[in-house]
Amino acid sequence: MDQTLLYVAASLSVVALVLLIAKPLWGVMAIFLARPLVDATWAQPLILDFKLTELVSSFVPLIILFRMIFDDDRRRPVRDMPLKWFWLVWSLDAALFSSLIMFETDWRGGLSVLMRIWNGVAGFYMLQAYCRDQDDFLRFAWALAIAGLFPVAIGVFEGVTGIHWRLTFGENDVIRNIGFYHDAITIRYFALQTIMGLLLILALGKRSLVIKSLCLLYGLATIYVLKGAYSKSGFMTLGAWALLWPLLRKNFRAMLAVAAGIVVVSLYFSQEIMDSVGFVFEREIAAVQGQEQVEHTFAGRWDIWAELVKEWQSLDQIAKLLGAGRIAAGAHNDYLQVLFHGGLVGLFIYIALLAAVGWAIGRALLERCDIWSIAPLFVFIMWIVDTIGLVPSVYSGYQWFVWGIVGFCLRHRREEKLHVRSETALQPQVRFPNLMGAV
């Protein structure tokens, strides 16, 4: 089974990479379709000791960066890319501090760090460059939904049968259903990616009863898989989406349904919810109530963070400024990881990039609250939540998903403005006679 899956994933990856070179829009959708299978082969080497996940995560950014040099059409995908200077500075600094890791620690590890960050740049670029309009983006949303079939299917199978391919444990020693994947974050982000695809289909596609029913059933199955991962950040992100979607979409019936659901849960099912998923936040709730020490929250990550901070403080000034020259992918905090990789300079650039993205999304929301501002807000919330206790910038497919949606939506909103301005400029100007001059 493992070898068969590896060969299938490798074959799909080759097709996707070829399409990415020849037909980039189809290639983008293909790499998203292949990624759930690719990530399931994380433990198996394909060529020498290189794994398929490493090869795909290296070839994709290299192909995209190569195309960026030669992509030139009337849409000016590179020159008009939103926030391009922030991404350019971030990618150049990544080349600097990853070089330090290559020379001081391990060339392969340093190259891995560089490719992971360049995957973020490639993700931000690929959709805004190759999805030309709303119809293309809707096709991409369908690709996200179809890509979720494999992780959702294995998640449902694992939850129903109790058969586990790997045993990993969460809070209170509960077994997490992670399918074939390395850890809970992988199957969890695929679940949220699938839900986002379904939301985009509902917002942009034809609202037939059949499509609505299929999306609802598929969404419920995906939530069941997400529940089996027992992920704090996953529950927090899904909860934020559930509250914000009807509010921002101004769907008053959905808002009433959510409010009624909260009341019913509070009155009748609060204990059942706590027993099934709420125990994941048991220590955090106890800390808020003063019954538990703060250091015991976040699954003990405080100890990891304290050790890393102590180690960073022992570095010399150059290392503090430019990077420690070693890999810190196990930091369980994206900001601490960047601090070790790129020093204070890298951390400042990374925070500036996130601040610029957040500012652009906030402006888009204030201008008009539609799917082009809601979708990037949702994935940005997901990213920010994960940066606290995880390292999302380590996961290439995760970055394609989050930054791809942000990049396209910001570009789409910009082109909408330019279209309105051009139409206004082309409208005939009505000139009234100067009656005073005639007199």
Q: What one-character DSSP code corresponds to residue 289? A: T
Calpha distance 122→111 (Å, rounded): 16
Q: Is the pLDDT of residue 274 over 90?
A: no
Asked if residue 71 is part of any domain, the answer here is: yes
The pair of three-digit structure tokens given for residue 86, joined into one six-digit string: 């922030």
Tokens describing residue 198: 């379904």
Residue 433 has pLDDT above 80, yes or no: no
Q: Which amino acid is at 379?
A: V
In contact, 231 and 181? CB cutoff 8 Å: no
Q: Which two tokens stand for residue 226?
A: 């997400």
**Cα-based distances in Å from 282 to 232, 378, 431:** 11, 26, 71
> What is the predicted pLDDT for the residue at 290?
67
DSSP letter at 266 equals: I
Angstrom CA distances, 200 to 140, 148, 215, 246, stand at 9, 14, 11, 14
Q: What is the pLDDT of residues 365-413, one digit of tens each?
A: 999 899 999 999 999 999 999 999 899 999 999 999 999 999 999 999 9
Higher pLDDT, 229 or 361: 361
Q: Answer whether residue 439 shows pLDDT above 50.
A: no
Per-residue pLDDT reduced to its tens digit, 276-312 = 666 666 666 666 666 666 666 666 688 888 888 888 8
- The chain-wide mean pLDDT, for the chain, equals 86
Confidence bin at 7 (pLDDT 50/70/90):
very high
d(CA 380, CA 58): 24
Other Cβ atoms less than 10 A from the Cβ of 266: the count is 10
Identify whether the C-beta of residue 201 lies closer than 8 Å to the C-beta of residue 145.
yes
Give CA–CA dist 47/304, Å, rounded.
Answer: 34
Least confident of 122-126, 149-153, 289-293, 341-345: 289-293
Distances (CA, A) of 400 to 141, 291, 425: 13, 41, 37
The pLDDT assigned to 109 comes to 85
Residue whose pair of structure tokens reads 């590179």 in the numeric block? 78
What whole-number distance in Å separates Cα of residue 193 and Cα of residue 402? 9
- Asked whether residue 434 is assigned to any structural domain, the reply reads no
Q: Report the pLDDT value the prediction gives residue 391, as an integer from 0 to 100.
A: 92
How far apart are alpha carbons 114 and 95 in whole angstroms? Answer: 6
What is the structure's pLDDT at 246?
A: 86
Tell me whether residue 431 is in a domain.
Answer: no
Its domain, for residue 189, covers 2-418
Higher per-residue confidence, 360 vs 300: 360
67 beta partners: none
Which amino acid is residue 38, in one-letter code?
Answer: V
pTM here is: 0.89
Given a contact cutoff of 8 angstroms between Cβ atoms, the answer to whether 342 and 93 are in contact is yes
Is residue 175 helix, strand or coil? strand
Rounded mean pLDDT, 176-200:
92
Mean pLDDT of 44-70: 91
204-219 tens-digit pLDDT:
988 788 999 999 999 9
In a domain, 432, yes or no: no
Write the single-letter amino acid at 328: A
Residue 417, token pair as written in the block: 């403005």
* Short-list 270, 265, 177, CA closest to 226: 177
Q: What is the mean pLDDT of residues 310-337?
A: 88
pLDDT tier at 268 (50, 70, 90 boundaries)? Answer: low
Give 169 or 19, the one with higher predicted confidence: 19
pLDDT at position 304 is: 84
How far apart CA 222 and CA 29 sit, in angstroms, is 20
Q: Give the contacts of 433 (CB within 8 A, at least 6 positions apart).
A: none
Q: Is residue 146, in this structure, part of any structural domain at all? A: yes
Q: One-letter amino acid identity for 258?
A: V
What value does the mean pLDDT take over residues 339-349?
94
Is residue 90 domain-resident? yes
Burial group, residue 290, by CB count within 10 angstroms (0-12, 13-18, 19+)? exposed
Residue 50 belongs to what H/E stretch?
A: strand 50-51
Whether the pLDDT of residue 267 is over 60: the answer is no
- Distance of alpha carbon 320 from alpha carbon 438, whole angstroms: 76
What confidence tens digit (pLDDT) does each residue in 59-91 have? Answer: 999 999 999 988 877 778 888 899 999 999 999
How many domains is the chain partitioned into structurally?
A: 1
pLDDT number for residue 436: 43
Instruction: Report pLDDT for 411.
Output: 93
> Is the residue at 426 inside a domain?
no
pLDDT score recorded for residue 3: 84
Task: Give yes or no for a contact between 315 and 324, defined as CB atoms under 8 angstroms apart.
Answer: yes
- How far, in Å, CA of 257 to CA of 238, rounded? 16
- 426 by Cβ neighbours in 10 Å (0-12 / 13-18 / 19+) ranks as exposed
The percentage of residues in the chain with a pLDDT greater than 90, rounded to a whole number, is 54
pLDDT given at position 329: 74
Q: Would you state the pLDDT for residue 230?
A: 84
Query: For residue 423, is it within any domain?
Result: no
Residue 273 has pLDDT above 60, yes or no: no
Name which of 102-116, 219-233, 260-274 the model is least confident about: 260-274
**DSSP E strands, 197-327:** none
